[in-house]
Chain A
Amino acid sequence: MGAMQGLLYGFSMALTPGNLFACFLGVLIGTIVGVLPGIGPVGAMAILLPVTFKQNPVTAMIMLAGIYYGSQYGGSTTSILIHVPGEPTSVVTIIDGYQMTRKGRGGAALAVAAAGSFIAGTMGVIALMFFAPFLADQAIKFGPPEYFAIILVSLILVSRVGEESMIRSLLMLGFGIAIGTVGMDMSTGFPRFTFGRIELMQGIDMIAVAMGLFGVSDVLLMAENISTIPPVPKVKFRELFPTKREWRRANLPMFRGSAIGFLAGLIPGPATTISTFYSYTLEKRISKQPDEFGKGAIEGVAGPEAANNGACAGAMVPLLALGLPFGPAVALLLGGLMIHGVQPGPLLIAEHPDIFWGVVSSMYVGNVMLLVLNLPLVGVFVKILQIKNYLLMPLILLICVIGAFSVNNSLLDVWVLIGMGIFGYFLTKAGFNMTPLILGLILGPLMEEKLSMSLRMTRGNIFEILTRPLTAAIFVVCIIVLIAPYLTRVIKRSFSAKATF
């Protein structure tokens, strides 16, 4: 199926009333979750995943994807207006966005953030539409050794990128893989760490773990400090229009941010967050007015906000083309696919074109909905910040418990939820990042399966795995990425030493 043919097929599904409503619900929940500090898209997706059980896979994926990219729009609202990041991906937007609000240009900042998100979302979906099928076609030629290499390298890079302490990341990764081994071994059917309990034969449910780590622990952290939200400045509709000069300055950063974000999404790690830092650094470096950064430079809003949305689309490429999630949110999308009996991988696009093209087409529609929701209705979303904590926090806990219970009708999942919530609370206080844990939990069993198949293929000769051309290339790239920062430092030091001489 060609791209245009696929897109039309996708629209024929995305524009049905049921799927349109699912898309709208997803982007609305995503925006709300993005606006509310404390609960993020991963928590919301984990909480709503069990709710999608009764839906068909296309509708479920459209809604969950809507939450994912919708939250990137919402996160900028509080960053710009009240100096509070709705999401980690909007932290950078505070630097110049809030300064623009202090100068009375908050409306313009919101408009540029929304426009940048829309442009990046649309460009990202176009790139996804062409790149993912191409990658999937190539990936059909991958064997178990190549998959093993990609997964192992992804897990290593996730621990390396965007985390100051590699030891903490590696600990989380190892812990995630360890709890993923609980249950029946897929290759041999041997029960591992089940302690004789039948409920543990299926393993520890990823949904309960994700809801605990991202939902329950967020509420426990919020409970520590029930602070009142500072008063939110009112933004009138006419203030939403940037000046011609502001549009001119914001244009190119939006396109650059879109490209940076999309490329960052292809790499394992917290792409939506890292891409905003890359974009901001780039815009400041190439700007003709670098001194304005930190004081209300519109490029500092346009670039990062475009980048985080571009990263959402980029992250969908390895998920849909290879069946490999490189971040926690797309890991939950993978979970959604598996729950609905859809086998992710390079054959997904060929065997389930309805899912791929339905989601891609819905992303076009969703981006338009988000532009409408986030500009004229920004005042409505800002009012959401006034929701009382005594309603919001228990409600999140309730939904988490119901969600965990409804997965297998088992109380064990509820206890996993509570346990992981408490664990996640302490881990966050100790400065740990949850991403490597979730990825280890999801990708660990897959990596083990591919390793087992590879060893059977090569009759136990692990070196034969390492010397296959593509596998070797993947490991070489991994080594380069790992040592590049150190090499750069050494080169810089030797250059500055020579300069001093």
Chain B
Amino acid sequence: MSRTQRIVSIFFLIFSAAYLVGSLSLPLGTARKPGPGILPVAIGVFLSFTSLLYFVKVFLLEKISSKDDKEKEIHSSRNFLRLMGLLFFLCFYGLFFKILGYMLSTTIFMMGVMPLLEVRKWTQILLVSILTAGFSYYFFTAVLQVNLPQGIIPF
């Protein structure tokens, strides 16, 4: 069993316990007039039981296999940094999307992500970022008529 599976099993255990505790505070109603808590409690119990089974399977029944780790885990620190970088810029994009507006936040996002994807020339990064932001803005607003946030730039 890989380390990832252990992390996921712990997550499910915590989630299901929290969900069950939360669902017990909801009114159950009666069998004739079921309340909003009936399905959440049932699912909470079901999830807790299943996550416990999975936890036991992952932690107690099978050992960590180094072969599994090689196959399933991130292979190198370079890939790990790329992944962390992508997540950072994705979170940045979510945080500043409305504040900076679509154009500026998208340009910064592209300029941050492209070096992670092994583009080295800064002129290429700058040009592709600005063009992508511009063309996509036009496509979404003019063609698809999607409302995009303006932010500090008036478009």
Could you tell me which A residues sit within 8 Å of B by CB distance? 50-51, 54, 167-168, 170-171, 174-175, 177-178, 181, 185, 187-188, 190, 192-193, 216, 219-220, 223-226, 389-391, 393-395, 397-398, 401-402, 405-406, 409, 411, 414-415, 417-418, 421-422, 426-427, 429-432, 444, 448, 451-452, 455-456, 459-462
Pick the contact of B106: A185, A398, A426, A430 (CB < 8 A).
A398
CB of B83 within 8 Å of the partner chain: yes
Q: Which residues of B contact A460 (CB under 8 A)?
A: 30-33
CB of B132 within 8 Å of the partner chain: yes
Interchain Cβ contacts under 8 Å between A and B, 13 examples = A175-B15, A192-B26, A220-B83, A224-B75, A226-B82, A391-B128, A401-B90, A405-B97, A405-B149, A429-B73, A430-B2, A430-B72, A431-B72
Q: Count chain B residues whose beta carbon lies closer than 8 angstroms to a beta carbon of A.
A: 68
CB-based contact A455/B53 at 8 Å: no
Q: How far is the CA of A192 from the CA of B38 in the complex (A)?
A: 12
CB-based contact B117/A226 at 8 Å: yes
Name B128's closest neighbour in chain A (CB-CB).
Answer: A391
Add 19 more A-B contacts to A168-B54, A190-B26 (CB < 8 A): A174-B43, A177-B43, A181-B23, A181-B39, A223-B79, A225-B75, A391-B132, A394-B109, A394-B113, A401-B93, A417-B94, A418-B90, A421-B90, A444-B39, A448-B38, A452-B34, A452-B38, A456-B32, A456-B33
Pick the contact of A181: B34, B43, B93, B148 (CB < 8 A).
B43
CB-based contact A174/B50 at 8 Å: yes
Q: Which residues of A contact B148 (CB under 8 A)?
A: 402, 405
Closest Cβ–Cβ distance, residue B135 to chain A (whole Å): 10
B9-31 vs A, CB cutoff 8 Å, 1 = contact: the mask equals 00010011001001100110111
Q: Which residues of B contact A185 (CB under 8 A)?
A: 36
CB of B153 within 8 Å of the partner chain: no
Q: Which residues of A contact B12 (CB under 8 A)?
A: 171, 175
CB-based contact B83/A406 at 8 Å: no
Given contacts A430-B5, A456-B33, contact A389 B132 (CB under 8 A): no
CB of B8 within 8 Å of the partner chain: yes
Q: How far is the CA of A389 from the CA of B119 in the complex (A)?
A: 10
CB-based contact A193/B94 at 8 Å: no
CB of B87 within 8 Å of the partner chain: yes
CB-based contact A174/B47 at 8 Å: yes
CB-based contact A395/B86 at 8 Å: no
CB-based contact B90/A397 at 8 Å: yes
Q: How far is the CA of A381 from the CA of B39 in the complex (A)?
A: 48
Q: Which residues of B contact A448 (CB under 8 A)?
A: 38-39
CB-based contact B117/A390 at 8 Å: yes
Could you tell me which B residues sit within 8 Å of A by CB distance? 2, 4-5, 7-8, 12, 15-16, 19, 22-23, 26-27, 29-36, 38-40, 43-44, 46-47, 50-51, 53-54, 57, 72-75, 79, 82-83, 86-87, 90-91, 93-94, 97-98, 102, 106, 109-110, 113-114, 116-119, 128, 132, 136, 140, 144-149
Name B9's closest neighbour in chain A (CB-CB).
Answer: A430
Given contacts A171-B50, A462-B31, contact A393 B145 (CB under 8 A): no
Q: Which residues of A contact B147 (CB under 8 A)?
A: 406, 409
Q: Which residues of B contact A422 (CB under 8 A)?
A: 87
Q: How far is the CA of A462 from the CA of B42 in the complex (A)?
A: 15
CB-based contact A451/B50 at 8 Å: no
Q: Which residues of B contact A397 (CB under 8 A)?
A: 86, 90, 93, 109, 113
Q: How far is the CA of A429 from the CA of B83 in the complex (A)?
A: 14
Q: Which residues of B contact A431 (CB under 8 A)?
A: 5, 72
CB-based contact A401/B82 at 8 Å: no
Q: How far is the CA of A220 from the CA of B23 in the complex (A)?
A: 33
Name B91's closest neighbour in chain A (CB-CB).
Answer: A418
Pick the contact of A192: B36, B75, B94, B140 (CB < 8 A).
B36
Q: How far is the CA of A294 from the CA of B22 in the complex (A)?
A: 54
CB-based contact A224/B74 at 8 Å: yes
Pick the contact of B90: A178, A192, A216 (CB < 8 A).
A216
Given contacts A170-B50, A174-B50, A415-B94, contact A395 B117 (CB under 8 A): no
Given contacts A178-B19, A224-B79, contact A398 B40 (CB under 8 A): no
CB-based contact B117/A429 at 8 Å: no
Name B144's closest neighbour in chain A (CB-CB).
Answer: A51
Name A53's closest neighbour in chain B (CB-CB).
Answer: B146
Q: Which residues of B contact A462 (CB under 8 A)?
A: 31
